[in-house]
Structures are given as C-alpha cells and as structure tokens.
Structure 1
C-alpha cells in the first residue's frame, strides 16, 4: 500500500493530484480547510481508501493534532511507500511592503513556510523506523527566484521553502537516509490563485496586466496537466534536495 498525505486538496493542484492518485494500491490522506465533497464521493465510487482531515494549517497548534490523527491511520506494516505533498499555499496579501496588515503577513508565512516545515519535521520523526520508501514534495514557485512587486511575502516564503528543502535533502544524504525531499515549481496554472492575482489593483501589483495576458493568451496550464507531470516525475529517479521546475520536466 502506498500512502499519500496531501495538503490543500479543496481545489487547484491539490485536487487534481488526488483525482489522479485515486487508483488501486493507494490510500490518500487529504488536508484542507474545507472538505472537498466531490473528491470524497469519487473515492467512494472507486472504492479507494481516503481519509479527509479539515483544519487551517496556519494554526500551528492544530498541525500537531492533525499529524497525530494522520499517523494513526497509517498501517506501517502494510505500507510500501509514504509520501508527503506540501501543496497548500496562499498568495495573499498582494500588497507593497508597508501596506498589508500584520495579521495577513503572519498568516501567509504560517501557511507557505511554517506549516510545511512543521509537517516535514513531524513526518521525519514519525517515519524514522519505517523501512519503505519515504518522499517529501514541497510545492514551490518561480517567485522564489525573482522579486515581484507586491509579492514580497509570497516570494520570501517560497524562497525559504526551497532553501529548507535543499537543507533537508543535504541532511538525508549525509545521514545515508532513504528519505528523499524535493521542491517542485509548477509554473502558472489556471487556478483560483491566478484569479486572485488578475483581480489585484495595479497600485498593489504592478504586473497585473502581464498575468491577465497569460490568461487571455491561453498560457496557463491546467492543474490536471501539472499533476500528471509531477506524478510521472515522482516515478523516476530524482536527486535529493533539488528544486525542479516544470519547464525542465516536459
């Protein structure tokens, strides 16, 4: 049995990943603020085991509770592979520095950076004795590599997540661990996050017209396409601690 723990499954890439993993031999553990009832119904119709946990991972105290519940669901003796996919993320606040509220800034850092760090930490602790394959995928962004006006917190948290992944991967190599951790940059996708970006005020986000152009010119990949590319890539041999951009995988 292969276990997949996936955050941010209520929509977008997370939802598409789950849809494609609903096959025999997999057990899915989904985490999002609200339950994706369509996914639950699909899992039942396909008779694929799915456990759905709802909660806001920006609440660091809730993360530990969720992790405890999650690992109670895993039958380690019958597991061959356990994968953690840190997909949940937020673009908000889209504001120049000094214009966003402290509350919004804190929530962004907690969802995009702190929660994945905590989940990775707990994952490693709780699977230390597991003899099967262990994989961590942290969903990154091209914004991790370049400054974008209005996206200071998003750019910073994704850059931080990439560096965390690189460091985590290095530690696994040095300790001869079988665990592999990578970051994956999915490029621009046709998701609700892109709708939020296109709805920004130019005063807050000077590049808004560029992103409107991506949509108008049909340059956005579907979440289903991105999910397929990622899952096929995870079946190959990849290097620990690396940041992989979707452009290099197609």
Structure 2
C-alpha cells in the first residue's frame, strides 16, 4: 500500500489530481485542504482540514499516515497573490504567501522525512513548481521568491540524500493552466503587473492547458 498526501485538493490542479488518484488501486489518499465539498466528503479517502497559512497548527503527519508502505507527498497548494509592485504590497498577504508557498511545505517535509527515516520507508516529494521559481516576473515578487525558496529547500534535501535512495525529490512545472490562479492573474492591475496583457492573451488564444490533462500527465510520469 502506498500513501499519497496531496495538498490543495479543493480546486484547480489539486482537485484534478485528487479525482484521478481517488480510485487508484493500492493507494491510500490523504487529501489536505481548508474546506471540502460534499462530494469530497463522500469519497473513501482521508480528508485533513489544514490551513497552510497557519504555520503554528499544521497536522501531525505521524498520526495520519498508517504504518507500512511508501509515501508520496505532492506539494500542490499555492498562492500567486499579492500581485503588484514591491512597496505597495499588503503585509498580511505577503505573510500569507510565505506561509503557504514556503514555510508550511517546508515544515511538512521536515516531518515526513523524519517519519520515513524512522520507519525505513521510501519518500518521494513531488513539488508542483513554476517557471517563476527560476526567473523574476515583475509584480510577482512574493510568488517568485517563495516558490524559489521552497525549491532551494528541496534541492538541499536532494543533495543531503543523494547517497540514500530512501528520499527522492521531483520538481514539476505544470505550465500555464486554466485555473482560478489564472483568473486572479488576469484580474490584476496592469500598473503593478506589466505582463497582464500577455497572460490575458493566453486565455483568449486558447493556450491554457486543462487541469485534468495536466493531472493525468503528472500521475503518469511522476506518481509510481
């Protein structure tokens, strides 16, 4: 039995990943999110209410992951806000972005690595990353920096574990998808986000991938 922990299951790519994994054989799915629809609550999986912005009250994973079996952690939850020029950003939204995109995933991975090492279980960390983790995008200072920070954290983990096959790190850039995050981007103020017209054009030109096809590819390529 393989245990798959997935964050951000309520919408977008996370929801699509959940729907494709929920009926998978020999997989115990643990879905984490702030809220759950009635449809999700009826599914035969473990649902964990978790607000990643509350770094002081994250779930204790050793109480959620049964003994035996390898573990896959899919770090999917994320926020692109606040969008705008540095100097005019909301302090609360900056803290929120740092918590959701970096601090909480870091703390959860720290828990999981300790848990798996203690019990001799293999751990694969699948980080849903972004091109924004590699290069600066004006208006996306919070998103670019927090995604880059967590990528570097995992790169250090990979370097630390390179002689041990028990922990594996995989970064996945899903590309530009037709999700709620893209709606937020298209609704941004052009004064604080110079590339607004470019991202609006992705939608009108039909260049956005669906979360469903992206989820299927990720599972096929990265979820053993």
Deviation, structure 1 residue 37: 2.8
Deviation, structure 1 residue 128: 1.2
**Large movers: runs of 4+ above 6 Å:** none
RMSD: 1.5
**Unmatched runs of 5 consecutive residues or more in structure 2:** none
Most deviating of 31-40 and 208-217? 31-40
Whether 1:125 and 2:114 are equivalent positions in the alignment is: yes
- The CA distance in 1 between the partners of 2:103 and 2:95, in whole Å, is 10
Q: 2:76 aligns with which of 87, 91, 94?
A: 87
- Provide, for residues 182-237 of structure 1, a one-character-per-residue CA deviation record: whole Å limited to 9, x for no partner: 2211111100000000011111211111011001111111111111111111257x
Q: 1:223 aligns with which of 190, 211, 215?
A: 211
Question: Matched residue of 1:31: which SS?
Answer: strand
Whether 1:50 and 2:50 are equivalent positions in the alignment is: no
Residues 63-212 of structure 1 aligned to structure 2 (within 5 Å): 63=58, 66=59, 68=60, 70-77=61-68, 79=69, 81-174=70-163, 176-212=164-200
CA contact under 8 A between 1:20 and 1:228: conserved in structure 2?
A: yes
**Unmatched runs of 5 consecutive residues or more in structure 1:** 44-48, 237-250
Deviation, structure 1 residue 177: 4.0
CA contact under 8 A between 1:7 and 1:85: conserved in structure 2?
A: yes
Size of the alignment, in residue pairs?
Answer: 223
With the length of structure 1 as denominator, give the TM-score of the two structures: 0.85
